[in-house]
Structure 1
Amino acid sequence: MAKVTDKQQRFVEEYLKDLNASQAALRAGYSEKSAGHLGAQLLAKPHIAELIAQGKAKRSEKTAIDAAYVLNRLVEIDQMDVADILNDDGSVKAVRDWPRAWRTYVSGMDLSELWEGSGDERQMVGLLKKIKWPDKVKNLELLGKHVDVQAWKEQRELSGGLAISHEDALEALE
């Protein structure tokens, strides 16, 4: 592997923080005027790309988050059923009784007390509970884009059994 300068090593470390080459170059000490251009050049260097790949692999290993983890989480969101958090009378179960998927994926909860009357006559007559769950359509879109699903990739079969994607055909015409 080619020798890496201190500044290049710093670039790799900074790039792994947010995957923004221009900002990483700035934080690594390259000039503001050339950071965008140099960031792209550094990413193109094989030895820098290898260090970045190693850094990403270490991070994935450390966090135990990889493509399979993300895909499994998306499947959990897809399988969430509102009936899992409701009692038979339609009231919301206590949060401690919710399935783990609901407890970890709910995007937000709003509780509002409902009151009637005024002054000393004021009484709480109810509690409005709003539960926001993940966007199921966006979730399905992400699942559909997974390389093994390829739900959104059109393919055309040509004579001889050769399959070609719509994207590949357009690229070949350019």
Structure 2
Amino acid sequence: MNKNLTVKQEAFCQAYIKLGTKSAAYRASYSCENMKDETINTKAYILFKKENVGARIQQLQNELKERNRITIDELVIELANMVRFDIADLYNEDGSLKNIHQMPKAARQMIMQIESFEEFTGFGPDKQLIGFTKKVKMIPKLDAIEKLMKHLGGYKLDNEQKTTNIFIGDERKQRLEALKKKLGK
């Protein structure tokens, strides 16, 4: 634990590394049962912005990177591969699911879960296998797209565009007046 932090602040930092969001880390570290979401979000943001807390989070992130020997570039490449994933890579030409070892590595990495069910007819010694049902659950592609958008600043650009005022000074008033006349008001 960092000497410059309280026990709860250190817990917040650790939870932030584990959970990835300020609000979730705040909920995990502080008593929030009587707080509104907006209050939690604000308090989490203020805590996150404290110099000693931010420095500790940076230290923990650096330790995590060092332990795992992974770079941001490698993570972005993985996210980009997830976005480009084509489900056809999992199947043979006849529509049957490929053997796991025949699937490209990038396709295998998109698999979250595989369930296999054997179907039989008859009982006892007359029991015969009549088929298989295989279910493949994939990592949601939209999650990868959203993470990539956040990392590459796609949402920031979108939010800036929403707040841009394209009318300057009197031009806005003139356009409003013209619109009112057009609508007969």
Same topology, TM > 0.5: yes
- Note the C-alpha offset of 1:95: 0.8
- Note the C-alpha offset of 1:85: 2.4
* Secondary structure at the counterpart of residue 5 of structure 2: helix
Report the counterpart of residue 168 of structure 2 in structure 1: none
1:84 equivalent in alignment to 2:89: yes
Distance 2:6 2:155 in 1: 40
Query: Which amino acid counterpart does residue 162 of structure 2 have in structure 1?
Result: H
Query: Which consecutive unaligned segments of at least 5 residues does structure 1 have?
Result: 27-35, 156-163, 170-174
Report the counterpart of residue 11 of structure 2 in structure 1: 14
Percent identity, please. 22
1:47 equivalent in alignment to 2:60: no
Report the counterpart of residue 136 of structure 2 in structure 1: 131
* Secondary structure at the counterpart of residue 107 of structure 1: strand
**Paired positions, count:** 150
Distance 2:9 2:65 in 1: 16
- Note the C-alpha offset of 1:6: 3.2
Relative to structure 1, the CA distance from residue 57 to residue 79 in structure 2 (aligned partners, 3 Å threshold; closer, same or farther) is: same
Query: Which amino acid counterpart does residue 84 of structure 2 have in structure 1?
Result: Q
Confirm or deny: 8 A CA contact 2:83 2:144 kept in the other structure: yes
- Note the C-alpha offset of 1:103: 2.2
Confirm or deny: 8 A CA contact 2:13 2:56 kept in the other structure: no
Report the counterpart of residue 166 of structure 1 in structure 2: 162
Report the counterpart of residue 181 of structure 2 in structure 1: none
**TM-score between both structures, scaled by the size of structure 1:** 0.63
- Note the C-alpha offset of 1:167: 4.1
Query: Which amino acid counterpart does residue 12 of structure 2 have in structure 1?
Result: Y
Distance 2:84 2:73 in 1: 17
* CA displacement, residues 109-139 of structure 1 (integer Å, 9 cap, x when unaligned): 0100111223432211111111111222333
RMSD: 3.7
Distance 2:29 2:145 in 1: 33
Q: Which has the higher contact order (CA 8 A, sep 6+)?
A: 2
